[in-house]
Chain A
Amino acid sequence: MSFLSVKNLHAAVGGKEILKGIDLEVGEGEIHAIMGPNGSGKSTLSYVLSGREGYDVTQGEVLFNGENVLDMAPHERAAAGIYLAFQYPVEIPGVSNLSFLKTAVNAVRTARGEPELDALNFLKFAREKGKILEMKDELLKRPVNVGFSGGEKKRNEIFQMAMLEPTLAILDETDSGLDIDALRIVSEGVNKLRSPHRSMIVITHYQRLLDHIVPDFVHVLADGKFVASGGKELALELEKDGYAKFGIDESASAAA
């Protein structure tokens, strides 16, 4: 049985249909890459899976571990093990990264029937996970994402993922806007979090990321539908020949 099963998913934003019938089966521990031009619906898919308001599912179903995801509130999806690394992480002035994470970790632990971490054990846990992403202590104390560089924000996303220990991670353009050093830290962090019990959906615009995070499957998304699916070699073809081979006019899609 698939771990995540998406069937004929249609979704609209403000009455406009963006996803037009997505089918996706992700097995336990698998990494699926989703590539596609701007405006093809990549981010919409990530928001629909994580339950953002304003994204209306008009048809289809999403099952996660056999449960209907679409009936769950965003925090319930997080507790169930779904994690979204945001393309544009949100700044929250006045809330320190650490107190935010402590609230989040303990909310998730409580929901999963695990005991809450006290201040000392939480700090130990945060320092340990912070090492994976080379997070300086100072970044932990600062308000969430406020004054962070683009690279620091993306590292913070993966750091939170390490803390919340999801079983399905959706990385939405985690590589966009990163220089090669930042990309290395982020992708090494992601690779350290790979496990036979953790599946990932890696959404990207650039094949470059997939040199670092090697996927099991690649899907090409265009105009709200998958137009091709295959192994990791599909990403290389895309890089070489562009989206035109799949009948996608990139300039037209971008304008949509």
Chain B
Amino acid sequence: MTQNDTTTRIVESFEQAKGGLPGKWLAPARAGAIDSFAAAGFPTPRSEAWKYTNLNRLARAEFDPHAELKQPDIADWAHLFIHDCDRIVIVNGRFDVELSTIGKLPAGVTVSPLSEAVDDIDQNLEKELACIAPNEGAPLVALNTAFMRDGLVLRLAAGVILDRPVQVVHLIDSGDVAIAVHPRTLVVAGDNSQAVIVETFAGSAGSSYWTNAVTEIRVGRNAGVSHVKRQSESNAAYHTALTQVRLDRDARYTSVALAVGASLSRNEVKVAFEGEGAECSLAGGSLLRGRQHADSTTEADHRVPHTSSRQVFRNVLDDSARAVFQGGVIVRQDAQKTDSGQSNRNLLLSPGAQVDTKPELQIFADDVKCAHGATVGDLDREEMFYLQSRGIPPNEARALLIEAFVGEILENAPKGPVSDHIAEAIANWMFGDAGKDA
């Protein structure tokens, strides 16, 4: 089957599916989005933004839109649930009320599954949903807009400080059937509000599926959002995701996104600075082995003066794994006094591992600071010998050094259960078999 056939088939399956998708008012947006996807097709390496990540295999894969799936055994997933948080759980693309827990929330806070929120007129989502992340130039976002069914909606009124994290967990166990899911998360943080949001993606080993996620985040004046993402998908899965963030005046956005799962993944984070004094700190990367491929692509779009962005990305690659880092910074003509910094370091544990790292700086203002740096290396032999000479066996010495290498990105996760959630993924990678067969 060619890519064009697949695109046509996806459009046809939309015609069958659209009647059953939530939010009647979204129908025009969905129709526009599927047209936009049909016109563009899957991104190809011919476009610079997708130069190092080829979706050819994904674009030819067949996904069953009518799969009847049974409820998976959740015992395996319990460790992914962060203690003491409000949690929405999405199983095989649909909200699972049994697994979700929403405690007593402060006034002015809404935590709801997308499938319910879109049919709740009080939520007034028209101005936010599918508006923060545009479909233009982003065929996979358009595809998500057309098919989106479930996910998380988090809204904070002005001045609300949410002290518990909100977690959305996406679990997939599709057995022998290949399915595609298009989860959407929307976070709207009012002025002076504050929240921590955790997105977790996981699938049962061997399950073959495609997660195509979109996350939209608007951070109001002087508000702060901390966003943590753990991608522990099945080793046979595809994972494509885009997070679009819009920052108002003095807003703060801090994120960490770690990939340990999926055979092929791409995590794109785009931040638009729309108010002066806003700042973002983006961290992330991957721990990969086998033939896994993970792409971290960023864009910090400085549109107004006095904003700052930091980017810290680390990749640890074993076997024939491959990582991509494309660190984008745009400083528009009006964005004087922009302060941006970027660092990408890569640890190659095997001669077959490969990394493509590319800073992409487009600077149109003259009074700005933009630093960037990248390194690629293997484990330091002197450090290894020093640790071993103190009685530490080689595998533990290696783990200590890898942990230290990726440790810097953990600083972007709130201390406690949230950073432990990411640390667990790192420890599982080092001592478990995550990704082994990918």
Chain A nearest CB from B27 CB (Å) reads 52
Query: Contacts of A89 on B, CB cut-off 8 Å?
Result: 386
Query: Contacts of B386 on A, CB cut-off 8 Å?
Result: 86, 89-90, 92
Query: Contacts of B405 on A, CB cut-off 8 Å?
Result: 94
Question: Given A53-B381, A107-B396, A78 and B404 touching (CB < 8 A)?
Answer: no
Instruction: Find B391's partner among A52, A90, A92, A111 (CB 8 Å cutoff).
Output: A111
CA distance A103 to B386 in the complex (A): 13
Q: Is the CB of A94 within 8 A of B390?
A: no
In the complex, whether B131 has a CB less than 8 A from a CB of chain A is: no
Question: Given A90-B382, A90-B383, A104 and B390 touching (CB < 8 A)?
Answer: yes
Q: Is the CB of B385 within 8 A of A107?
A: no
Q: Is the CB of B404 within 8 A of A93?
A: yes
Question: Given A90-B382, A95-B400, A100-B400, A108 and B407 touching (CB < 8 A)?
Answer: no
CA distance A54 to B396 in the complex (A): 21
CA distance A122 to B407 in the complex (A): 23
Query: Contacts of A95 on B, CB cut-off 8 Å?
Result: 400-401, 403-404
In the complex, whether A160 has a CB less than 8 A from a CB of chain B is: yes
In the complex, whether A164 has a CB less than 8 A from a CB of chain B is: yes
Query: Contacts of A78 on B, CB cut-off 8 Å?
Result: 388-391
CA distance A74 to B405 in the complex (A): 23
CA distance A103 to B399 in the complex (A): 11
Q: Is the CB of A103 within 8 A of B392?
A: yes
CA distance A99 to B403 in the complex (A): 12
Q: Is the CB of A52 within 8 A of B392?
A: no
Residue from the set A77, A84, A107 with the largest chain B CB neighbour count within 10 Å: A107
CA distance A143 to B383 in the complex (A): 13
CA distance A215 to B397 in the complex (A): 34
In the complex, whether B424 has a CB less than 8 A from a CB of chain A is: no
Instruction: Find A73's partner among B394, B400, B404, B407 (CB 8 Å cutoff).
Output: B394
Contact mask for chain A residues 73-109; partner B; CB cutoff 8 A; 1 contact, 0 none: 1110111000110100110111100011101110110
Chain B nearest CB from A214 CB (Å) reads 26
Q: Is the CB of B391 within 8 A of A94?
A: no
Query: Contacts of B407 on A, CB cut-off 8 Å?
Result: 94
In the complex, whether A174 has a CB less than 8 A from a CB of chain B is: no
Q: Is the CB of A53 within 8 A of B385?
A: yes
Contact mask for chain B residues 125-162; partner A; CB cutoff 8 A; 1 contact, 0 none: 00000000000000000000000000000000000000
In the complex, whether B408 has a CB less than 8 A from a CB of chain A is: yes
In the complex, whether B393 has a CB less than 8 A from a CB of chain A is: yes
Q: Is the CB of B393 within 8 A of A107?
A: yes
CA distance A104 to B386 in the complex (A): 11
Query: Contacts of A86 on B, CB cut-off 8 Å?
Result: 386, 389
CA distance A79 to B407 in the complex (A): 28
Q: Is the CB of B391 within 8 A of A75?
A: yes
CA distance A107 to B390 in the complex (A): 9
- Which A residue sits closest to B393, measured CB to CB? A75
In the complex, whether B11 has a CB less than 8 A from a CB of chain A is: no
Query: Contacts of B390 on A, CB cut-off 8 Å?
Result: 75, 78, 100-101, 104, 107-108, 160, 164
Chain B nearest CB from A242 CB (Å) reads 33
In the complex, whether A50 has a CB less than 8 A from a CB of chain B is: yes
CA distance A44 to B403 in the complex (A): 31
Interface residues of B in 367-411 (CB under 8 A from A): 381-383, 385-394, 396-397, 400-401, 403-405, 407-408
Query: Contacts of B408 on A, CB cut-off 8 Å?
Result: 94
Q: Is the CB of B401 within 8 A of A107?
A: no
CA distance A93 to B347 in the complex (A): 14
Interface residues of A in 145-192 (CB under 8 A from B): 160, 164
Q: Is the CB of B392 within 8 A of A107?
A: yes
Question: Given A53-B385, A90-B386, A94-B407, A164 and B391 touching (CB < 8 A)?
Answer: yes
Query: Contacts of A100 on B, CB cut-off 8 Å?
Result: 387, 390, 400
Residue from the set A89, A92, A101 with the largest chain B CB neighbour count within 10 Å: A92
- Which B residue sits closest to A47, measured CB to CB? B385
Q: Is the CB of B388 within 8 A of A74?
A: yes
19 contacts between A and B (CB under 8 A): A50-B389, A52-B385, A53-B381, A53-B385, A73-B388, A74-B388, A75-B397, A78-B390, A94-B407, A95-B404, A99-B400, A100-B390, A103-B396, A104-B390, A104-B392, A105-B391, A107-B391, A108-B390, A143-B404
Known contacts A53-B385, A164-B390; 15 further A-B pairs (Cβ under 8 A):
A51-B389, A52-B385, A73-B394, A78-B388, A89-B386, A90-B385, A92-B401, A94-B407, A95-B400, A95-B403, A101-B390, A103-B396, A104-B392, A107-B391, A143-B404
B residues engaging A (CB < 8 A)?
A: 381-383, 385-394, 396-397, 400-401, 403-405, 407-408
Q: Closest 3 interchain pairs by CB?
A: A94-B404, A78-B391, A108-B391
